[in-house]
Amino acid sequence: MKFALMGGDGRMAQLARLLCADGHRLAVYALERAELPPECRGAVSAEDCARHADCVILPLPLSGRQGYLSTLLSAREVPLEEVFDALPRGVPVCAGRVDAAAADCAKRSGVGLIDYFEREELCVLNAAATAEGALELLIRETPRTLLGSRVLIVGYGRIGRILAARLRDMGCAVAVASRKYADAAWCRAFGLEPLDTRALEGHLRDFDMVVNTVPAPVLGEARLRELRPGALCMDLASRPGGVDFAAAAALGVHAVWALSLPGEVAPVSAGEIIRDTIYNILREQELM
């Protein structure tokens, strides 16, 4: 097959290497800073990249800033409208974490996007990679061992569940804040302390590390003020995030926003996860 890859970070660079290793033909655009195999054809435009492609793969996340393709390995600023207008019709176009504005832009150009970030097989393995990256950051950003530390995880979705289990197994006392009664029950079953996200006041001073996974404002100034001196506050949530970083800076709270961790700490594995998911999509459409 012939694939067209445009934009992205280390995950897309690794994906390009994997596709070439699998024997596919490949054209790439807006990846000039990546180290790619010589058989990758560098395209001069989105239209040139997509010409004769059997499948187009766009990055995770699709947008760097609103209206523009994410291009962390390129100096180019590529409007999404320019990309969508260049794509051939009737060819699968796969992109990750497509926001509403990007989806509307694609629709206006007559492009039907397949959001591979909505695939459960990708989300579960991506969450595992994110949890591993979070562990590395927690070790690096604090003067404490994880063993014996008290950690609060806000949110009990895929990332929260995996990270809570990893931290518990490393000797942390782990509490999980969520809104669902079912989540609280699962936490008790796994030996985790359940808390209510709506009633964290009075509890936050108990923790050495607070990790948010909820992309909604859950850790504002009042709650950040409760953190004990020296506590680490880490946000793993996608934009808009859940931590008020301006308030954290004003209060002297050590706060870290760790976006797109799989691409930062495990681009090889992250690229493999995306490749396998794309192959699954193509098999379901009987194109492979």
Q: For residues 274 and 15, what is the distance between their CA atoms, to the nearest angstrom?
A: 7
Q: For residues 266 and 282, what is the distance between their CA atoms, to the nearest angstrom?
A: 25
* Nearest of 55, 111, 54, 60 to residue 82 by alpha carbon: 111
* Nearest of 187, 127, 120, 176 to residue 152 by alpha carbon: 176
CB of 39 closer than 8 Å to CB of 19? no
Q: For residues 231 and 235, what is the distance between their CA atoms, to the nearest angstrom?
A: 13
CB of 122 closer than 8 Å to CB of 277? yes
In this structure, the number of other CB atoms found within 10 A of the CB of residue 157 comes to: 15
- Residue 264's pLDDT is 84
Amino acid in position 270: A
Q: Domain 2-118+266-284 in CATH: superfamily?
A: NAD(P)-binding Rossmann-like Domain (3.40.50.720)
In this structure, the number of other CB atoms found within 10 A of the CB of residue 13 comes to: 24
* Nearest of 52, 53, 58, 117 to residue 84 by alpha carbon: 58
pLDDT tens per residue, the chain (288 residues)?
999 999 999 999 999 999 999 999 999 999 999 999 999 999 999 999 999 999 999 999 999 888 999 999 999 999 999 999 999 999 999 999 999 999 999 999 999 999 999 999 999 999 999 999 999 999 999 999 999 999 999 999 999 999 999 999 999 999 999 999 999 999 999 999 999 999 999 999 999 999 999 999 999 999 999 999 999 999 999 888 999 999 999 999 999 999 888 888 888 999 999 999 999 999 999 999
Q: Tell me the angle at which helices 120-141 and 158-169 cross, rounded to the nearest 10 degrees.
A: 50
What is the per-residue pLDDT across 67-104, written as a single tens digit (0 to 9) for each? 999 999 999 999 999 999 999 999 999 999 999 999 99
What is the per-residue pLDDT across 238-266, written as a single tens digit (0 to 9) for each? 888 999 999 999 999 999 999 888 888 88
Q: For residues 40 and 18, what is the distance between their CA atoms, to the nearest angstrom?
A: 11
Q: For CATH 3.40.50.720, list the domain ranges present in the chain.
A: 2-118+266-284, 123-257
Q: Choose the CATH number for 123-257 among 3.40.50.720, 3.40.50.150, 3.40.190.10, 3.40.228.10.
A: 3.40.50.720
Element counts in the chain: helices (H) and strands (E): 11, 12
